[in-house]
Every structure is written in C-alpha cells, then in structure tokens.
Amino acid sequence: MKKTVLYILAIMCAVTPVLSACDDGSETEKEPQTQICEHELIYHDATVTCTKDGQREYWECEICGSYFADESATLPLTQAELAAGKLNHKNKIHHAAVAGTCTGSGTMEYWECPDCGLNFSDEACENSVSKLTTSKTAHRWENGACSACGISYNDYFFEFEPNSDRTGYIVDWKRGAELMGQTEIILPGTYENKPVTEVAAYALANKTGITDVVVSEGIQKLNAGSLAGADIVSVSLPSTLHSITGEAFAGVASSGASSAMRPLPENLTQITVAADNAHLVAQNGVIYGTTAGKRTSVEAVAPGLTGSLTLPDTVNAIADHAFYGSKLTSVTLPDSPLGALTVGACAFKGASVTALTLPESVISIGNEALSFLELETFQVPGKINLLSDALFRYSNIDTVILPEGVTTIGGNAFYSCEIDIIVIPKSVTKIGRDAFWAASIDYVYYGGSTSQQFEAIDGVKDTGNLDLKNAWRKYYSATDTNAGNIWHYVDGFPVAW
C-alpha cells in the first residue's frame, strides 16, 4: 500500500554564497540564499517477514528521491538502510500451559508470534499449531458425586422423565454428556427417592467408549436399543428385570433398504444376571427365560458370540429378536418336549447363521424371523401352514423347501431374495402381495403335476409375483416319465429326474 503525503517543510536542500559587483569594482559577499523541497511522500510497506529477507517500511519523496523512516520526514535513510533481514519470530510471546478441569478445557504451552500471527508449540518456533485447547479432565466420582466440581453422577450422565403411571422414572442418556475416559456406566435404580423402572429406547445407542454397563437393581424394563452402545463388551442385569429381548442391543435404524438392519455392540459376549432374578438366567452369553427353574425360552443372545450353539431340550420358544444380528454361524433347536415350539418375529434377522435347524415341533415362525440371512438349505418344519409376512426378505438361500401343508405365502415373504431352488407344494392356494418382488429364482419345483394347477394359485399372476411365475419350473412326479421337467424327493431333498 502506498500513500502520498504533502509536506511544506523549511528544509535547506543547499546553501551557497552569492557574490555581487560593487560600483567601485570591488566584490562583496551577499546574504546566503536557501532552496526548500516541498516533499511529496510515498509510503512503502515492509516486505520482510519472519522467514524471508526484504525491506523495512519507509517513506520516499517523489520530488527529491530522499528516503525517511517516518512520515514526518525527520529521520532520513540511505538506500542501504532500507534492506532488512528476516525477523525469525524475534518478538514471540510465551504463554504458559493452563490445565483443564472437569468443567472446562485448558490450553497448551505455546509461543505466539505477533509479526506473522502464528502460534508454535516450541520456543524455536519450528512447529506451528492451530489448536491450543486441551481436553477437560475426568470427573473424580466419589459416593455418587464429583469431588472436584460437586456435580452428581446421575445428573451429569442422565436425564429422567416420569414413567407411564408416574410412580417412578425412565432414565435416558443426557445429551452432550462426555465420558472423558469413563468406560463403565451404571444405570441408576433410583432418582430423587423414587425408583427408576425403565431405560429409555436407544438410551446408549451408538455411544462410543462405553465398554461395561451395570443395570442397577430396581430397573424392570429395557426398551429397544437401550443397550446398543457400539463398544459394549459386558452387561450386568439386576434381579428386578422382568424380561429382555435382542432388540435391546439393536441401534437406531438407518435409511434405505438397509434400514431393517441396525448397528449392534458386535463385541458384546459377557452377560450376567443377578442370581436371585426369578425370570431370567444367563449362561455363556445367552439369556434364557425360566419356568419352574427350567430354561424354557431364549430371550436374547449376546451379539458377539461366534461359532455354534445347541439349545437345551427344555426350550420351547425363541423370543422376538433373540438372535438378531448374532455372529453365530450354526444354531440347532431341539424338539420341544411339549411338542410345540414357537419362533418370534425377527428372531434370526440379520444373523450370520448359514446352518439353521428348526425341528418339526415348530408350529409358528414370526414376521421377518429369517430375513437378511445367507443359508445353504432351509427346510420349513412340517407343522407350518402359513409363511408369515417378510419371513425371508433379503435372504439368499441355495435351496428352500416348503412342506406339503403350507397353504399361504405371506406378503413380501421372499422380497428381494436370491434362491437357486424353491419347492412350492401343491397345498399352496394363496400368495400374498409382492411375496416374490425383485426375487431372483433359478428353479421352481412345484408339488403339483401341471402348469394349470400352478397358475391357478391366487396371487401367482400378480405383478409383484411375476419373478416366481416366470422362473424355470419343474413338476412333481413319483416316477421318471422322461418328460425333462419333472422332479422327486431323495432323502427328503428335491432332485430332478
């Protein structure tokens, strides 16, 4: 930037004696005369920096060409004096570190250079830094309160709202609460002298850094996603808890087709239940419901369990979401001693099982129970007469066998499935809306003997089921007729003649 300043200054540019001739021919010296420069100054900004040589700031007269160190033109400079060496952050200012507390951030030790505007972490000003703040320190919890700032443990981490009958509270995670190194969280069983009876839906969903969760005595109910912290590895449950399902470990749904699958605490393998709980018992990461001291239902499975699992023969029910997203690759359910075993909605949804054995004692399978799976061969138990809605949605199965006796295939039952072979028994009379929408089917093995029988099924010609109707089709025949499009059973599996 340049600026011109006009000054009328009484500065003697040169003083020279002048001689004149007298009448008598002698020479006498006259009074000295002066010449004044009315400076017009132009400002020159400094070009020197902390890391580069340059020139200092100065003012230059456009009339006489003189240089000055000030805009009053009282401090003349030579041209050589205009040059300036790099500053090397010589005017740096030291700032001592300020420690953070549990209520506020601190600042690191640093050096500030006012010339270039940068901050440095070292006195030599070699390492510039943009962030000066340091983290808060962890609270020092003692007897339910921080000994440093006095805030209570419960009020810092949680917020509370009255439960439905206003006899107690529902506990939820407090927005903005920072863990600051805390890895164990204790969900309180009381607040303001009233019981905490529930944990809010998705209270810990996707909260990172929490590894261990203790659910205190008094809490009776865990809502969906209440224990879905991404890093949780162990959970301790109280004697007062009435029930739990695998949905307690399922996080918040995302958008799009994958919305059916929610994130889980994939490393959770350890679950304990208080010994005096009258409703639940935990064993090797599996939570069972009990009746008269016997394990009669599977309520929830730790999502991080791997390998194979064979359930005890006393089990007669698989609860909703029990194996949701489980990493187990093989699960075997025994024949129920009661002769009637039920599988709840979403029971195996998104699990890693490739081998799943359901015994003939299974009498019902809930909606979406077998969705989002990768199975080799799956044989629907013989007592099933209805395939529930969205039962196999988004699953890929090499061979799926529906037994004779199934009359209805529910809506979306095989939505967007990839199937090599599917056996449709001749007992099927109705196929629900979009049951085979966007399905990829190589072969349909139909239990009837003619195409007229197949195409007479209610719903088979609907737009949402054309992928089934248009697939390659074979018809059942107990004997080989050399027709080329017939099949039969060999050891219970469909085989083309």
Q: What is the rounded average pLDDT for all residues in the chain? A: 90
Residue-wise pLDDT tens digits, 179-218: 988 999 999 999 999 999 999 999 999 899 999 999 999 9
| pLDDT for the residue numbered 206 | 84
> How far, in Å, CA of 219 to CA of 196, rounded?
6
> How far, in Å, CA of 329 to CA of 325, rounded?
11
C-alpha angle 418/423/427, rounded to 5°? 130
Exposed, middle or buried: residue 30 (CB in 10 Å: 0-12, 13-18, 19+)?
exposed
Residue-wise pLDDT tens digits, 432-455: 999 999 999 999 999 999 999 999
Residue 496's CB is within 10 A of a number of other CB atoms, namely 13
Exposed, middle or buried: residue 319 (CB in 10 Å: 0-12, 13-18, 19+)?
buried
Tokens linked to 309: 């699992």
**Which H, E and C letters describe the chain, residue by residue?**
CCCEEECCCCCEEEEECCEEECCCCCEEECCCEEEECCCEEEEECCCCCCCCCEECCEEEECCCCCEECCCCCCCEECCHHHEECCCCCCCCEEECCECCCCCCCEECCEEECCCCCCEECCCCCCCEECCCEECCCCCCEECCEECCCCCEHHHHHEEEEECCCCCCEEEEECCCCCCCCCCEEEECCEECCEEEEEECCCCCCCCCCCCEEEECCCCCEECCCCCCCCCCCEEEECCCCCCCCHHHHCCCCCCCHHHHCCCCCCCCCEEEECCCCCCEEEECCEEEEEECCEEEEEEEECCCCEEEEECCCCCCEECCCCCCCCEEEEEECCCCCCCCEEECCCCCCCCCCCEEECCCCEEEECCCCCCCCEEEEEECCCCCCEECCCCCCCCEEEEEECCCCCCEECCCCCCCCEEEEEEECCCCCEECCCCCCCCEEEEEEECCCCHHHHHCCECCCCHHHHHHHCCEEEEECCCCCCCCCEEEEECCEEEEC
Q: Read off the pLDDT of each residue in 97-119 and give the average, rounded to a whole number.
A: 92
Which amino acid is present at 105?
S
- Tokens 């890929």 belong to 396
Q: What percent of the chain has pLDDT over 90?
A: 81
**Residue 257: which pLDDT band, with cuts at 50, 70 and 90?**
low
Whole-model pTM? 0.76
- Predicted confidence (pLDDT) at residue 20 exceeds the cutoff of 50: no
**Residue 7: which pLDDT band, with cuts at 50, 70 and 90?**
very low
- Predicted confidence (pLDDT) at residue 336 exceeds the cutoff of 90: no
Cα 454 to chain centroid, rounded: 47
What is the length of the chain?
A: 497
Q: Read off the pLDDT of each residue in 58-70 and give the average, rounded to a whole number.
A: 93
**Residue 26: which pLDDT band, with cuts at 50, 70 and 90?**
very low
Exposed, middle or buried: residue 365 (CB in 10 Å: 0-12, 13-18, 19+)?
buried
Q: What percent of the chain has pLDDT over 70?
A: 91
- Predicted confidence (pLDDT) at residue 33 exceeds the cutoff of 80: no
355 Cβ neighbours under 8 A, 6+ residues apart: 329, 330, 331, 375, 376
- Predicted confidence (pLDDT) at residue 495 exceeds the cutoff of 80: yes
Integer CA distances (angstroms), 388 to 365, 406, 445, 456, in order: 7, 11, 21, 21
471 Cβ neighbours under 8 A, 6+ residues apart: 441, 442, 443, 444
- Tokens 């809306």 belong to 433
- Cα torsion angle, 191, 192, 193, 195, sign: negative
Tokens linked to 66: 């003189």
> How far, in Å, CA of 49 to CA of 56, rounded?
10
Residue-wise pLDDT tens digits, 275-334: 999 999 999 999 999 999 899 999 999 999 999 999 999 999 999 999 999 999 999 998
| pLDDT for the residue numbered 34 | 56
Integer CA distances (angstroms), 446 to 80, 144, 380, 394, 474, in order: 102, 67, 15, 22, 6
Residue-wise pLDDT tens digits, 404-430: 999 999 999 999 999 999 999 999 999
Q: Are 242 and 290 spatial neighbours (Cβ–Cβ below 8 Å)?
A: no
- The strand pair at 194-199 and 145-146 is best described as unpaired
> How far, in Å, CA of 468 to CA of 455, rounded?
11
| pLDDT for the residue numbered 138 | 85
